[in-house]
Amino acid sequence: MRLIKHFAYCLLLPAGIVMAEVPRQECLGRLTFDVPEAIEWATYDAGRTFRISTGGGHNFSSKVTAKGDLSAYDYHGLVVYVSDVVERSEFDSAARYRKGTGSLYQDELREDIKIKRFRLSEFPGMGYSQEVIASLQEEIEELEKKVPLAEVIEHDLGIPDAYFLGGQIAPTEAYLYRNQRVYYFSMGKADRNSAEYFKDLVSRFQPRALYEVPEGPGICMPYGFIADDGKTAYSIKNSLRFTSTPNV
């Protein structure tokens, strides 16, 4: 009966009176905050997404930049970038670009080796000491070791809409395509267990909409969330702006 009376009182409220709206909320890191008006996060703009692996930080557009934005997570030196909304082709291009930079680096190494070998062949007749010749030979050998290591290899971890790239032993970078955004994860401290680490990370990661605050402990980033035990180390800074005053 009390519920019926309460409902009846609500129906009798004057038309000019409205119930207060629940404020929108956003989150960053482990912090949740109210949002008084529409906002947008700085992300990796669409025009640069194909080279997201080169870093450089988030921005609002090619002409409106953010400063010092960086997301780091866990103890593996993991750095995270989030793109603007892009086509699937940009996601594929980002992986191809990274593979291409590895090939270019291999070409540079081979050219450097070629030049040093030529110099080495000229040294004996130019009066250089054995110490100098031996030092140059060591440089060549070190460069030769780097050539196969510079190759960017794709690792199949059985996860759809994802690329995992790295060296011969394990992946060091992950590219996910979720909700039309590219989520890029780069591991600074990779090891033989990196593949399992990425599998675990992806299982705990979820994309999120603007003003969507996931339940439970974890780390919020623009348009993304990593669930955890609430104790994992992290560092995050990301710019936002009110859409009503985008140039302020």
pLDDT at 194: 93
Both tokens of 93, joined, read 């291009």
Least confident interval from 104-108, 121-125, 150-154, 157-161: 121-125
Q: How far apart are CA 8 and CA 10, in angstroms?
A: 5
Phi then psi dihedrals of residue 55, to 5 deg: 75, -150
- Do 238 and 124 share a structural domain? no
Residues of the domain holding 137: 98-149
- Do 116 and 228 share a structural domain? no
Q: Is residue 5 part of a domain?
A: no
- Do 235 and 133 share a structural domain? no
Tokens 């994309």 sit on residue: 207
Question: Which of 114, 134, 149 is where one domain is finished?
Answer: 149
- Do 200 and 214 share a structural domain? yes
Over residues 107-128, mean pLDDT:
86
- Do 176 and 225 share a structural domain? yes
- Do 237 and 117 share a structural domain? no
- Do 172 and 56 share a structural domain? yes
Both tokens of 80, joined, read 């995270």
- Do 171 and 67 share a structural domain? yes
- For the chain, the domain total comes to 2
For 12-68, write each residue's pLDDT tens digit.
Answer: 444 444 444 678 999 999 999 999 999 999 999 999 999 999 988 899 887 787 777
pLDDT at 10: 37
Both tokens of 65, joined, read 């930049």
- Do 77 and 127 share a structural domain? no
Instruction: Report in angstroms the alpha-carbon separations of 77 from 61, 70, 114, 180, 226.
Output: 27, 12, 35, 26, 15
Q: How far apart are CA 184 and CA 77, in angstroms?
A: 13
Amino acid at 128: Y
- Do 113 and 91 share a structural domain? no
Average pLDDT, the chain: 87
pLDDT at 14: 47
Instruction: Report in angstroms the alpha-carbon separations of 81 from 43, 106, 189.
Output: 7, 26, 17
Residue 222 has pLDDT above 90, yes or no: yes
208-233 residues labelled b (16+ CB within 10 A) or e (exposed) = beeeeeeeeebbbbbbbbbebeeeee
The CA angle 90-82-195, to the nearest 5 degrees, is 85
pLDDT at 128: 79
For 52-72, write each residue's pLDDT tens digit.
Answer: 999 888 998 877 877 778 899
Q: How far apart are CA 115 and CA 123, in angstroms?
A: 13
- Do 105 and 205 share a structural domain? no
Under DSSP, the state recorded for 21 is: P
- Do 186 and 214 share a structural domain? yes
Q: Is residue 6 part of a domain?
A: no
